[in-house]
Amino acid sequence: MKDSSLMYTEAILDHYKNPRNSGNIADAQIRQRGINPICGDDIELTLKVEADVVKDAKFTSNSCAISTASADMLLTKIKGKTIAQAESITSDDAVSALHIPISPARIKCAVLPLVTLKDGINSFKKKSKENKTSTTE
């Protein structure tokens, strides 16, 4: 029997080899790096946010196929969505979007982009709160 974790679907390999959202947004409001030391995955997400809507989203990655495909699928999903909608995506959503059984060891690969996104959103919110307080003074 083959190791199911190695049975990547064509969709995953396609996202891995031809990511739709690869790149770096220079004037991004959200810029967040995420690392999964277990696998060696290293990604950076950049998001352009206007009026709480994700106008554009890109990523650079030096990661395995699962992590890269997951990042690409995630960014496609959140483009045009509000920050609140992006935040409502769960780890289960991220894993099931891959449509393959993910072994416990690879779960961290699959959810790394989502965890990174949420970290980025959190610091973005903190920053905009600080900006609001400083402008009202």
Place of tokens 């059984």: 101
Among 117, 112, 14, 30, which Cα is nearest to 63's? Answer: 112
Least distance in angstroms from the C-beta of 114 to Zn ion: 13
Query: Residue from 15, 32, 41, 74 that binds Zn ion (CB under 5 A)?
Result: 41
Among 21, 46, 67, 68, binds Zn ion (CB under 5 A): 67
Stretch that binds Zn ion, among 13-21, 32-40, 71-79, 89-97 (CB under 5 A): 32-40
The SS3 of residue 31 is: strand
Residue 39 makes contact with Zn ion by CB under 5 A: yes
Q: Which is nearer to Zn ion, 21 or 67 (CB)?
A: 67
Residues numbered 42 to 61 that lie near Zn ion (CB under 5 A) are: none
* 8 Å CB contact between 24 and 44: yes
Q: How many residues does the chain have?
A: 137
